[in-house]
Chains A and B, each alone.
Chain A
């Protein structure tokens, strides 16, 4: 599995607090039994009218096409645990998310997909969103080793990221199945000691 130390690219802002995973991906798209098509659906109902015409959401504006870094506000990804939400963002092109705060389950799901969820104070996020809107061609580098964000090669802001999530990304252990499987023996021993597993 790959180590994720730096993520580079242009950014796209999606403003607003408490953007829930139903808004990120409406439940009707969860009826597909694979994630393959999820890249077609992020923010679908906010992006398109009844005839399927774009309504001017940042994900459809020409200046944000090809962007890899999503910039959001507070409690992004709250609500349903559906992994379809980060899957849809990832398959649209999102490689990292910067925000004021993230819902717990959403942030965990992002890490499992190798997407860092980095937090910055409100003032920094607002400045960043303003910069991205004003100069959408700005190229950012998210440096997970130094926990700094560079804008056009110059150090711009520092960010926070949960240390275990950062470790998983920079050490390439974010896809956890293999690591957990390696401890199968210890798992069985712990299970055996639990009264309800051994049958009381």
Chain B
């Protein structure tokens, strides 16, 4: 078993008790809540006559079902309105702080936490959403949970958990121009597979991660779960501390220095022992596009789609299903694949830097005829800052729609959906069948700059050829 890693240190300091099952009772330092996976959990604790044990360590927002056009209440969708009503009642009844539309801080839960400085190194963080791994970018153990576990955290601030193994993933060297954090995370998943991370926490490191901004680290950790790893993290460093300084919930004054000492102490030791170590060379990574129905079915933008013989026999059925669903063929280039819809947003790529990268591509160009393109900022502050920088105008001038904050067409629980066999270029995290709201719809995952390039050209395009120096 791993020793001396951040995972081990944070696990040990949060362990309450070894349970008779062999699991560990783990204290959860921050519990984030949204409208979709919490109403049943609140009902369960109400039924048992329990309270929220640590309301000051619990924060709520709304993201999954919110419309990104007309947000006037009641929502046009009666079920969404009911869900909104439920979270409003629950946070009031149980005394949980709530970042709603009026707060100016509403947004995707994994963007809101870091933005407010709630997410800090050395914490355990749980949320009823698999992309909770995003918060690992700060050196936290952050993971998604189901609704019965949300109930446990509400009632006890603890979870019964099994310890994971730790795999260190080094990306060495320097990324080539035009290659982004999204490409790095898709590349790692392509190499290790969607099942490769089962039973592991991923510790990301190496020169590429040392040089990454916090937003880039969040993009990679966000998709740890797509590689099967429930947790992905980066050790905290000066980049982490600089990001946190001055944020609303970050410690201030002399408490800042004490916090720094704690945050530095949780980083993996130099002589830490890992259960597994994998090295990648940054120079091998190019912009990546998925072609199938799982996030590991991807190729570099200049490559051709793989032949069936390149997969183990046990994968044949899945690969055949992927080709059938996507209506693509082995041997064809991914570049030039026509698209109908372009979606920029999500907890993977809905932050300010993502919108800036996409706007650079959109600036002075026009969305191709027949393509429906829209940009959904990840939070109200992201939207406000983007507007202050004039990014909204750049997008609108290019023919993109500019929306309100939410999860939107990443999972299509709001009115933003693919129709019929439409195919999207999407900066989100899942290309699963039916994921974007049409059971026959198709998704090509890529970086926000690549989505913008696809929107302009109406087909999958190497952004490096469209924009010099991208």
Query: A-side interface residues toward B, CB under 8 Å?
Result: 15-18, 20, 22-23, 26-28, 30-35, 45, 73-75, 78-84, 86, 101-105, 108-109, 112-113, 122, 162-165, 167-168, 171, 173, 175-177, 179-181, 183-184, 186-187, 190-191, 193-197, 199-200
Whole-angstrom CA separation of A175 from B149 in the bound complex: 9
Is B27 a contact partner of A190 (Cβ separation < 8 A)? yes
Other-chain contact of B432, A20, A82, A165 (Cβ < 8 Å): A20
Query: B-side interface residues toward A, CB under 8 Å?
Result: 13-17, 19-23, 25, 27, 29, 36-37, 39-40, 43, 48, 50, 53-54, 57, 64-65, 77, 79-80, 82-83, 86, 120, 122-123, 128-130, 143-149, 151-152, 155-160, 162, 194-195, 198-199, 225-226, 228, 230, 251, 255, 258-259, 262, 293-294, 314-315, 317-318, 321, 411-413, 430, 432-435, 437, 439
Is A183 a contact partner of B17 (Cβ separation < 8 A)? yes
Whole-angstrom CA separation of A115 from B17 in the bound complex: 24
Is A105 a contact partner of B230 (Cβ separation < 8 A)? yes
Q: Which residues of A contact B155 (CB under 8 A)?
A: 177, 180-181
Whole-angstrom CA separation of A113 from B147 in the bound complex: 11
Q: Could you tell me the distance in whole angstroms from the C-beta of B138 to the nearest C-beta in chain A?
A: 12
Q: Which residues of A contact B53 (CB under 8 A)?
A: 184, 187
| Additional 17 contacts, C-beta under 8 A, given A83-B146, A102-B198 | A16-B317, A26-B439, A30-B64, A30-B413, A45-B439, A74-B314, A75-B195, A78-B195, A80-B129, A83-B148, A86-B146, A104-B230, A162-B162, A181-B156, A194-B13, A200-B255, A200-B262
Is A23 a contact partner of B434 (Cβ separation < 8 A)? yes
Q: Which residues of B contact A83 (CB under 8 A)?
A: 37, 40, 128, 146-148
Other-chain contact of A168, B21, B50, B435 (Cβ < 8 Å): B21
Closest chain B residue to A167 by CB distance?
B21
Q: Could you tell me the distance in whole angstroms from the C-beta of A184 to the nearest C-beta in chain B?
A: 7
Q: Could you tell me the distance in whole angstroms from the C-beta of A173 to the nearest C-beta in chain B?
A: 6
Is A81 a contact partner of B199 (Cβ separation < 8 A)? no
Is B29 a contact partner of A187 (Cβ separation < 8 A)? no
Contact of A191 with B27 at beta-carbon distance under 8 Å, contacts A31-B413, A105-B130 already known: yes
Is A187 a contact partner of B157 (Cβ separation < 8 A)? yes
Q: Which residues of A contact B432 (CB under 8 A)?
A: 20, 22-23, 79
